[in-house]
């Protein structure tokens, strides 16, 4: 009997003994059995600690505005698994995903695949059959050993590098940067979206002999009156050299108005996306007007998404200290007359105290809940409170039976002048979106 999508997803979580097993040998073998499907004539891979989803959304929107047929693969999802695979602006259907999973199941034989590896192969199959102009692939974890790295990207982006997933990627920024640089390819553009990247990332890029495009040097964005000016001076250094090549073409400049996604960091994500498209101009063309339109229309749920007013309610997937610092900067830039209240939870492998410390006194009260549907990575509310105790006094935090109760308590205590920010794990944002009826659209 054919499986439903829910049945396939449940099955995939039981095929492999571990939720995560980095390495390309198993998934590459199955990919080859499937015929090594190429997802599109042009592929952009997007890695990094934070900003991957936003950069992917900007790329997808700009290319669509230019009339290109685009596929986008992202993770994790918020409310529906189908959110992970977009073809020409539409989520993949249950039937299409199930058919792809059935092909993968037949091809894998005795090879065990993880849930993420099943999904990556399904996206590649669906993209290969969709007659795309370009595919944008978001890296799941790290880069070098992530299943997305099966594909040799025409341009690879690393947005930022910070401390996250340290048990898998390394204990410092240099080690993590090296892992993320694994998506770079010899002679191909490698966009680095961070102005002060770790030396490990730069060294690995040089060893790969990628054509490096660095923010603040090869491209940048500057604030203007009611706008930003983005510029690129060419296609970047080669083989880790210290300057652009003498034979590079002249650069480009673009005036950008509205950026659809909220947050001070989004302009940097947009700048990196623009640098990637500029590097691909010989393959995809360059349409500045479409880029401006795409940046103004990009959509992505859970990134400082506004769900309600009086009191204001925002959701955000800030689940590591770097993302929390960006959230803090946004709060500082957008003060409210009243207090800012938090609805918060995160998974056991996250630096909860570091997240809270980044917000500091900006949060008047923390409404804490557990995450009970994340297996061994989940924490109950008391465990969350214990992790936060060193940085949040007891009178500024309370625990609740679940996220719905935490949000209800925050709303009950808020005035019309207050702001509630529900943030942390994707599980938090999903629960609030589901409870508000807002869905994963924006």
In this structure, what token pair is assigned to residue 402? 């679940």
pLDDT value, residue 149: 96
Contact 153, 43 (CB under 8 A): yes
- Alpha-carbon gap, residue 26 to 50, rounded angstroms: 27
Please identify every stretch of the chain with a pLDDT value under 70, giving residue numbers as ranges.
1, 17-20, 164-169, 234-250, 437-442
d(CA 233, CA 225): 22
Superfamily of domain 5-297: Mur-like, catalytic domain (3.40.1190.10)
Q: How far apart are CA 60 and CA 69, in angstroms?
A: 9
- CATH of region 305-436: 3.90.190.20
- What is the pLDDT at residue 164? 65
252 three-state secondary structure: strand
Question: Sign of the C-alpha dihedral, residues 78, 81, 85, 88?
Answer: negative
Return the closest-CA partner of residue 356 out of 331, 335, 325.
325
Nearest in space to 400 (alpha carbons), one of 344, 316, 352, 324: 344
Dihedral (Cα; 251, 254, 260, 264), 10-degree rounding? 70
Which pLDDT belongs to residue 392?
Answer: 97
- What is the spatial distance between Cα 296 and Cα 283, in angstroms, rounded to a whole number? 24
As a whole number of Å, the CA-based R_g of the chain is 21
Task: List every span in the chain annotated with CATH 3.90.190.20.
Answer: 305-436
Please give the Cα distance from 376 to 137 (Å, whole number).
28
Place of tokens 């610092």: 325
- For 377-400, how does the pLDDT look when each residue is reduced to its tens digit (9 = 90+)? 899 999 999 999 999 999 999 999
Question: How far apart are alpha carbons 129 and 42 in whole angstroms?
Answer: 14
Q: CA-to-CA distance for 420 and 339, rounded, in angstroms?
A: 8
> Residue 235: what pLDDT?
44
Q: Tell me the per-residue pLDDT of 147-186, one tens digit each, with 9 for 90 and over.
A: 999 999 999 999 999 876 666 567 788 889 998 999 999 9
pLDDT of residue 43: 98
Query: Helices 52-65 & 288-297, crossing angle to 10 degrees?
Result: 130
Tokens of 17: 């003994």
d(CA 209, CA 347): 37
Q: Give residue 224's pLDDT.
A: 84
Q: Where in the chain is the domain with CATH 3.40.1190.10?
A: 5-297
- Token readout for 295 is 């940046």
pLDDT score, position 329: 96
As a whole number of angstroms, the distance between CA 398 and CA 20 comes to 33
* pLDDT, position 130: 98
Backbone φ and ψ for 380, nearest 5 degrees, come out as: -85, 175
* Distance from C-alpha of 352 to C-alpha of 416, rounded to nearest angstrom: 29
């Amino acid at each position: 009997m054919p499986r439903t999508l829910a049945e396939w997803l449940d099955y995939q979580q039981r095929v492999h003994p571990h939720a995560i097993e980095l390495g390309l040998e198993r998934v590459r073998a199955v990919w080859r059995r499937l015929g090594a499907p190429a997802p599109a004539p042009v592929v952009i891979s997007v890695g990094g600690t934070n900003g991957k989803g936003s950069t992917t959304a900007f790329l997808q929107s700009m290319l669509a505005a230019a009339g290109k047929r685009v596929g986008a693969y992202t993770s994790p999802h918020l409310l529906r698994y189908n959110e992970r695979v977009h073809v020409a602006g539409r989520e993949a259907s249950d039937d299409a995903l199930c058919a792809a999973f059935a092909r993968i199941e037949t091809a894998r034989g005795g090879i065990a695949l993880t849930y993420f590896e099943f999904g990556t192969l399904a996206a590649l199959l669906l993209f290969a059959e969709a007659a795309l102009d370009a595919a944008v692939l978001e890296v799941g974890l790290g880069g070098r050993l992530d299943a997305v790295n099966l594909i040799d990207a025409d341009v690879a982006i690393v947005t930022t590098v910070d401390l996250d997933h340290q048990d898998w990627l390394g204990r410092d920024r240099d080690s993590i940067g090296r892992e993320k640089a694994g998506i770079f390819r010899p002679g191909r553009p490698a966009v680095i979206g961070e102005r002060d990247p770790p030396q490990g990332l730069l060294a690995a890029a040089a060893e790969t002999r990628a054509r490096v495009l660095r923010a603040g040097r090869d491209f940048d964005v500057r604030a203007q009156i009611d706008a930003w000016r983005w510029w690129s001076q060419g296609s970047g250094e080669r083989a880790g050299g210290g300057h652009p090549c003498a034979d590079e073409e002249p650069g480009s400049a673009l005036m950008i108005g509205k950026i659809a996604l909220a947050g001070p960091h989004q302009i940097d994500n947009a700048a990196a996306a623009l640098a990637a498209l500029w590097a691909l101009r010989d393959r995809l063309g360059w349409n500045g007007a479409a880029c401006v339109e795409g940046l103004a229309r990009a959509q992505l749920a859970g990134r400082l998404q506004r769900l309600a007013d009086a009191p204001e309610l925002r959701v955000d997937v800030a689940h590591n200290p770097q993302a929390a610092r960006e959230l803090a900067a946004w709060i500082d830039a957008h003060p409210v007359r009243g207090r800012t209240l938090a609805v918060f939870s995160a998974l056991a492998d996250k630096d909860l105290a570091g997240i809270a410390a980044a917000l500091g006194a900006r949060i008047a009260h923390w409404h804490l809940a557990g995450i009970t549907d994340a297996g061994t990575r989940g924490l109950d509310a008391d465990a969350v409170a214990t992790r936060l105790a060193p940085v949040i006094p007891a009178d500024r935090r309370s625990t609740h039976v679940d996220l719905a109760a935490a949000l209800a308590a925050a709303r009950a205590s808020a005035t019309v002048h207050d702001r509630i920010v529900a943030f942390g794990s994707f599980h938090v944002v999903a629960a609030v979106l589901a409870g508000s009826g807002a869905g994963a659209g924006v």
